[in-house]
Amino acid sequence: MSVDILYATLMIGGIGLFVGAFLGIASKVFFVPVDEKEAEIKEALPGANCGACGYSGCAALAAAIAKGEAPVSACVVGQQPVADKIAGIMGTSADASEKKVAFVHCLGDCEKTTENYDYSGTKSCMMAKFAPGTGPKSCRFGCMGYGDCVKVCEYDAIHIVNGIAVVDPEKCVDCRMCMKTCPKGLISEVPYGSKVQIGCSNPEFGKPVISACKIGCIACGKCVKGCPFEAITIDKGYPVIDYEKCKNCGKCARECPRKCIVC
């Protein structure tokens, strides 16, 4: 072995030893203790990283729960089973919460609405919203049916049926991605056990509504007057249900002359 090769070998070896020693010391100096509870909570979370809890992802939520900054039931995707598991890790109890699911407040399918013109743009609700009349559909407040909500749902819980989005409550985990995606704000979360839902979001009155959709709400107020529990009111032009008061009697749906209330 020549002197040059030996010298190079020793130098590389020396540098390697120095770097190794430096990294070893740095790992001790800058060591950050791992919160065992935080690690367990992260493991218990579903790992969807959907952000529905209000945090950037499951890791951020786990850290917040471990610090007591978020409730053990903060994960809307995991719902009660995950809440119970995290409560066990934290040594507390999780209050039972009612399951919630998404609902599309529009029943204006292809049989109940018409197309004002042939739309040849990108088949996207977000893009079609900028077309004349906020899309080709006769009801400018209704579901356009291009499926932006379908594309973001990771649980196969929402589909386009006869021109409108429909949620399968058995598959929905209330991740709220469809709610965030809908450009017209037609989707909201409702109690899983609620049988009565409002199937219209048109805030207009009378003839414009009737011309736009065969079952559009005309805000006549018969549902309000007919509810024995004062669980339904007219707000911004269309009915709104107070689920705390609603007893699922279905009288509002029977009173509705337009049949835009689901029961």
Strand partners, 187: 104
Per-residue burial over 48-74, b = 16 or more CB atoms within 10 Å of its CB, e = otherwise: bebbbbebeebbbbbbbbbeeebbbbb
pLDDT of residue 215: 95
Helices (H), 153-193: 177-181
Distance, CA of 202 to CA of 185 (rounded, Å): 11
Which residues does 250 contact at the CB level (< 8 Å), separation at least 6? 195, 196, 263
- What is the pTM assigned to this prediction? 0.77
Question: Which CATH number do you get for residue 183?
Answer: 3.30.70.20
Instruction: Provide the residue type at 181 as one letter.
Output: T
Instruction: Split the chain (263 residues) into runs of 10 and give each run's mean pLDDT.
Output: 64 72 66 71 86 86 87 85 88 80 96 95 94 94 97 95 97 93 96 94 92 95 95 91 95 95 93
Residues 161 and 209 occupy one common structural domain: no
Question: Is the domain of 149 the same as that of 202?
Answer: no
Residues 221 and 241 in one domain: yes
Based on the fold, state whether residues 130 and 149 are members of the same structural domain.
yes
201 and 183 together in one domain: no
In total, how many domains does the chain have?
A: 3
What is the reported pLDDT for 142? 96
What is the greatest pairwise CA distance in the chain? 102
Range of 230's domain? 194-263
Q: What confidence score (pLDDT) does residue 37 get?
A: 84
Whichever domain contains 85, its CATH number is 1.10.15.40
180 with 234, same domain: the answer is no
CB 198 within 8 A of CB 233: no
